[in-house]
Structure formats: C-alpha cells, structure tokens
Chains A and B, each alone.
Chain A
C-alpha cells in the first residue's frame, strides 16, 4: 500500500482551526422518567390507592414519592433494613 500524505479537509475548505462551524444539533430525546413495574400484594395496592385518594394524588405519584423517601431513609440509616437474607425482605 502506498503511503500518500493526506490533507486536512478543514484546511483545504479554507477554514482554520479557530473557526467554529458547529451547529445546534437535534439529539435523541431521553425521557426524564422510566416506567418501573413491580409485583405487590393486592392488600398493599388497595392501601396505596386509598391513601392516594385521600391525598388527592394518583397512586403512581404516591408510590414514586414513597420510594424516594424510603431510599433517602435507607441511605441515612441502613439499619432500618434488618434482615438476614433476601427471603426476609417484605413482599408487600
């Protein structure tokens, strides 16, 4: 293979390195939220639905809030999760 020296197309087009030709780009939009599905007991779901009704929010909103609150609590005090193994985790 011949080793032919290669020119820089930016230079041959007449644009030096200092010239900014960047355009605003159309990026793929990434959703701020993602749907999450978990199985919970009917009893817990009824409790969530009743409480959400009382607070006049949707059950999904209450669950998202509850999860956020719970994660913050766990980070502050991991001891609130007192279980020996995964089987002891409450299933709702």
Chain B
C-alpha cells in the first residue's frame, strides 16, 4: 500500500526540499518505489535532481492528463518526480476559484504503484499545502536549528490540527527533523527549545555540511556524490526511521 509523507514548515530555508529529495532517493536505493510531488512553485526538486522543471503538478490538477503522462523519471531506479514550476501557483488559484474538492489530489494519485509518495511544499501553508496535508499519512517537519524555524513549527502544527479537526484526516507526525546544526551555543539553545516544546518527536540532527550545497550545484544527491559522508549517514538514520514508523 502506498504511504504518503508530506515535508512542511511555514518557514523557508529549513531543508524541506533537500530532505525530500534525499529521503526519496534513499528509500529508492532501499528498493522502495518513490514519487516526489513538488507542490512548491519554486520547482526546485527538479533542480536538485539535475532535471528540467516542468508543469507536472499543474497538468495533473487542472488538465485531464493522466499521472503517467506527467510524471518524469529522475534517471534513478525506483525514483520518479511530478515536477512543479511557476504554473503550480496557478493550479492553486484555479482550485480555489473552482472550489474543486480537496480530495482531488488524493484521487488522482490513487492507484499509482508507488511504495512512497513524498510531497515537497512551499514555505507557507497555502491551499496546495493543505491538499498535501489532507492526502498524507505522515507529516515530517524539517527545521533549521534557529529561532524563526522553530516558531514556524507551531504554525504548521496548528494548520495540521485544524485540517484534521475539519476533515477527519488521520495522518501522524513522523517527527521533527533539525537540520543545519553546528557547534554553536545557538544550535544547542534551539535544540533545547525544540525538546522542551516537542518532547519525544525530535529526530537525530542533520549537521550543516558544505557537501550538501555541492550536491545541489551538481544536480546530484548525497548518495551519488559521497555515500560515506557524515551527511549521507545522518540521512540514512532518517531513512531507517521512516521505514520503521511506516511499516
């Protein structure tokens, strides 16, 4: 059965897209068939994977095209992408204007033969993010270890809670993923804030790593550039956790 996971935070620059791409590729390497649905108009999942951005999400939601016609292979085994681009924001507007049912996205993705579908989201809780929340079995909240990202978590959790109360959605929190950690007092103070406010759901940290920026520049994932690096090993811990909690 397909498991759906949304990565979201109301704050930008907290490794949502990097974590989505790395997690999906890691799961794919483990033999799980994965699809990323890029709900962010920035469309940077495609950029990170070294492929062209496209109107995939727009085409799927607005036109009558079938998922198989708009999903792009990433060139990696078990790993496909439904790309986003500037048109993705238009799809959001059309859905709002036409008052299309919130289950639209879920219905369109049903029946696809994937083990995991991961939603990457814009750094705001817009209608498309709400669609993704509605369609997800699990929520993963990446956060940079700084004050503003931590504040963003509260807003995300409130949004999820409201959607669950209004729709009966039953997704579960897979964890909060602290990233960009470094050896500073501010990182430690933020981790203390996180553990105090969200006990039991803070996942092992991902350290700030130059190699991750080099991966973005090269259009490759950390598992292609240096699978033995600390960053790869830290993401492997996340992948093992996701495999465990989604069994």
Contacts and interface: CB of A to CB of B under 8 A. Distances in A.
B87 interface: no
Nearest to A15: B154
Given A1-B185, A9-B197, A23 B138 contact: no
Contact of B197 (A10, A14, A23, A29): A10
| A interface, size bucket | 10 to 19
A53 to B, nearest CB: 34
Given A9-B151, A12-B151, A13-B151, A26 B245 contact: yes
Interface stretch (B30-38, B113-121, B170-178): B170-178
A6 B241 CA distance: 32
Main SS of chain A's interface residues?
loop
The residue in A8, A10, A23, A24 that gathers the most chain B C-beta atoms within 10 A of its C-beta is A23
Contacts of B139: 23
Contacts of B174: 25-26
Interface string B143-182: 0000100111111011011001000001111110000000
A7 interface: yes
A21 to B, nearest CB: 4
A37 to B, nearest CB: 24
Contacts of B244: 28-29
Given A7-B147, A9-B150, A26-B174, A15 B247 contact: no
Contacts of B52: none
A68 interface: no
A9 B244 CA distance: 30
B106 interface: no
12 contacts: A8-B193, A9-B193, A14-B154, A15-B154, A21-B154, A21-B157, A24-B172, A24-B173, A25-B175, A26-B173, A26-B246, A28-B245
Interface of A: 1, 6-10, 12-15, 21, 23-29
Given A26-B245, A27-B245, 17 more contacts: A9-B147, A9-B151, A9-B197, A13-B151, A13-B152, A13-B154, A13-B155, A21-B154, A21-B157, A23-B139, A23-B161, A23-B173, A24-B170, A24-B171, A24-B173, A25-B175, A29-B247
